Amino acid sequence: MKTRMTLAMCGVLMAACIGGCEVIQETGEATGLAGGEIDHSDIGAVLDYWHLAASEGDMDRYFGSMTQGAVFLGTDAAERWTRQEFRAFAEPYFADGHGWTYVARERFVRTNAYGDVAWVDEILDHDSYGILRGTAVLRKNGEEWRIAHYSLSFLVPNDVAGEVVEVIQRSGSMDSGG
């Protein structure tokens, strides 16, 4: 009986925790546990600053916007980098003061109820690659947001997906991980 009661209490606590993780109003705005609105403008500003730092080839600003344990996933299957690995990859691209330029045209932000974790998806424009999607997880430490995880992917229209898959299969990149 005691075991059943303990399990029941654990279930109630888990449901309360899961249910309290994020409160979204009909407007799509997040509210904190106390009911106050969470300001998403700081999150967007961090990502805009990060993209601008890449465009200007500013290694310190770019990598300073990421957590120490950050992970970056590029468009190739082999591109999974820790912050340190990604910094080594980016160094030659940033050396002349120009990195890469992605401009956000659309961004959606959600935060947890505590306002210290944010999930972002954004549509990006790039001169050579066209339209891409970036997804991110940001963590707030004190008053600062930092990027903990970022993934960049190509957007493929469904009506040409089969052709794209054939090209990828012919390249062998999925078999070799890169």
| Residue 21 predicted with pLDDT over 80 | no
What count of other Cβ atoms lies within 10 Å of the Cβ of residue 70? 23
Counting Cα atoms < 13 Å in the Cβ hemisphere of 178 gives 5
CA distance 144 to 8: 39
142, part of any domain: yes
17, part of any domain: no
Structural domain count of the chain: 1
**pLDDT tens-digit readout, 158-168:** 999 999 999 98
96, part of any domain: yes
Residue 152, domain extent: 22-176
Tell me what the mean pLDDT of segment 35-42 comes to.
75
CA distance 131 to 115: 30
CATH number at residue 87: 3.10.450.50
Predicted local distance difference test score (pLDDT) of residue 39: 78
143, part of any domain: yes
1, part of any domain: no
168, part of any domain: yes
Average pLDDT, the chain: 83
| Residue 15 predicted with pLDDT over 70 | no
8, part of any domain: no
Tokens 């990027």 appear where?
Answer: 147
CA distance 31 to 25: 7
10, part of any domain: no
**pLDDT tens-digit readout, 55-106:** 999 999 999 999 999 999 999 999 999 999 999 999 999 999 899 999 999 9
Predicted local distance difference test score (pLDDT) of residue 102: 96
Is the distance from CB of 51 to CB of 103 less than 8 angstroms? yes
Q: Which residue has the higher pLDDT, 143 or 133?
A: 133
Task: Give 112-118 contacts, CB < 8 A, sequence gap 24+.
Answer: 112/21, 112/22, 113/20, 113/21, 113/22, 113/23, 113/30, 113/31, 113/32, 113/33, 114/32, 114/33, 115/30, 115/32, 115/38, 115/140, 116/140, 118/40, 118/43, 118/145
User: pLDDT band at residue 36, thresholds of 50, 70 and 90?
Assistant: low
CA distance 51 to 137: 15
Spell out where 33-143 has E strands.
66-73, 80-82, 103-111, 117-126, 130-141
